Amino acid sequence: MTSSSQTTAGTVDRSAVEVRLEGLSRHYGPVVALDHLDLTLLPGELIALLGPSGCGKTTTLRLLAGLEDADTGRITVGGRDITRLPASKRDMGMVFQAYSLFPHMTVRQNVAFGLRLRRVGSAERDRHALEMLELVGLAAQADRYPHQLSGGQQQRVALARALAIEPQVLLLDEPLSALDAKVRAQLRDQIRRIQLEVGITTLFVTHDQEEALAIADRVGVMRDGRLEQLASPTEVYSRPATSFVAEFVGLSNRLEGEVRGGEVVVRGRTLPLVERDVPDGPAVALVRPEAVTMASHTAQESGPLVGTVIAVTFLGATSRVTVDLGDTTVLAQLSTSDAADLPAGSRVALTIRPDPVLVSSSSEPAVSAAGEDE
């Protein structure tokens, strides 16, 4: 993280600020969108809020932007209370999910719009707008209209426009969700590069876990208006705080087992627990597909971890193999070259790597697909 920095296009030097959300609540009629949320963004940090539809991540961002009012709670930016400040006075740059460029203005005019409102002189405005466009690699398109740009280009211009006013905080509301996969990955990397260069405190809202894990300093996983976990991407993935986080971030196999003395026994294999103070008894262990490996099994005898490959899904460098163990199915993520030796129908013996796992009570339902829009 950087507290101040230089852009490639020129000198944009600013001090990053800390953002605090304290006890924020928001209700829509009887629906609780945000339930006493506490969140602190450190200066220059990028936090990604991740969660299923209706979890409150977009509401959090809109409250911070001033586009909605909180029922209770307090927002401070750099120590200044902005809870009751209107959106136009909050000094925040925002990039929206929908294309939000002003259709009647050229790219240059769009980027310069915020500067014009701040009464920056026309020459300085033009120079700065071009600087920002260079930053996002679109200086050559300065005189085009939004309808002459692709979706990815429009979002880059929106980013340049948000940065042009040199805001204290950058807010990104699922800015990549309308783009195709390749452009999304490119723009994601570009956003991260620019954020690091400019050193601006950033809140990024997404429903795409890969995006959140790839881009953020810390990831906040939300559910029902509350933060389930706020930690680094590695920790969220490898040491999820709750079974919801474990199942929402990445795929998890739900395997029935028995907790005994701080460990869980799953199909004859003993695995350590992330939280050791789980009471003994039956439980469901959440095992990552990449913790499962397998080899061909030619012997006749069966075992608790012997099964039949029923499907192999090609994902590029890796493949996902689905194995039927008789009473349940298990997903394993293997390198594509390893998976090639295990076509559908082959008998395999599974091995579960002894990574720490989380357990949930067997009555708790599995988390549904994580790719929904809010």
Partner 1 sequence: MAAITTLGETPITPPASGQRGVHGRRRRRLNAFRYVVFAVFALFFILPLLAMARFSFEGAKLGTWSLSAWKQITAYQGSSGIPPLSSAVEITLELAVITCGVILVLLVPTMIWVRLRVQWLSRAIEFLCLLPLTIPSIVLVVGLGPIYNKIQHYSLSALMLFWIYVILALPYAYRALSAGLGAIDVTTISEAARSLGASWFTVMVRVIAPNMRQAILNAMLLSFSLVLGEFTIAFLLLYSNLQVELYSISRNTPNAGVIFSTSFAVLLFAFVLLLILSYAGRFRRGRG
Q: Rounded to the nearest whole angstrom, what is the least distance from the CB of residue 36 to partner 1 in the complex?
A: 25
Region of residue 52 (phi > 0: left; psi between -120 and 50: alpha; otherwise: beta): beta
Among residues 149, 171, 215, 286, the one that binds partner 1 under rule CB under 8 A? 171
Q: Rounded to the nearest whole angstrom, what is the least distance from the CB of residue 89 to partner 1 in the complex?
A: 7
Which two three-digit tokens encode residue 168? 């204290």
Which two three-digit tokens encode residue 18? 């800390």
* Residue 117 near partner 1 by CB under 8 A: yes
Distance of CA 159 to the CA centre of its chain: 18
Stretch that binds partner 1, among 4-12, 20-28, 160-168, 255-263 (CB under 8 A): 160-168
Binders in 83-102 for partner 1, by CB under 8 A: 86-94, 96, 98-102
* Residue 158 near partner 1 by CB under 8 A: yes
Please name the residue that has the structure tokens 């395999």.
348
**Beta-bridge partner residues of 75:** 21
CB 209, CB 240: distance < 8 Å? no
Q: Which is closer to partner 1, CB of 78 or CB of 356?
A: 78
Q: Which is closer to partner 1, CB of 65 or CB of 342?
A: 65
Q: Which is closer to partner 1, CB of 171 or CB of 352?
A: 171
φ, ψ for residue 154, nearest 5 deg: -60, -40
Among residues 135, 165, 285, 350, the one that binds partner 1 under rule CB under 8 A? 165
φ, ψ for residue 364, nearest 5 deg: -70, 130
Q: How many residues does the chain have?
A: 374
Alpha helices in 222-328 (DSSP H): 233-238, 243-248
Q: Which is closer to partner 1, CB of 119 or CB of 182?
A: 119
* Residue 145 near partner 1 by CB under 8 A: yes
| Interface contacts to partner 1, rule CB under 8 A | 65-67, 86-94, 96, 98-104, 106, 113-114, 117-118, 145, 158, 161-162, 165, 171
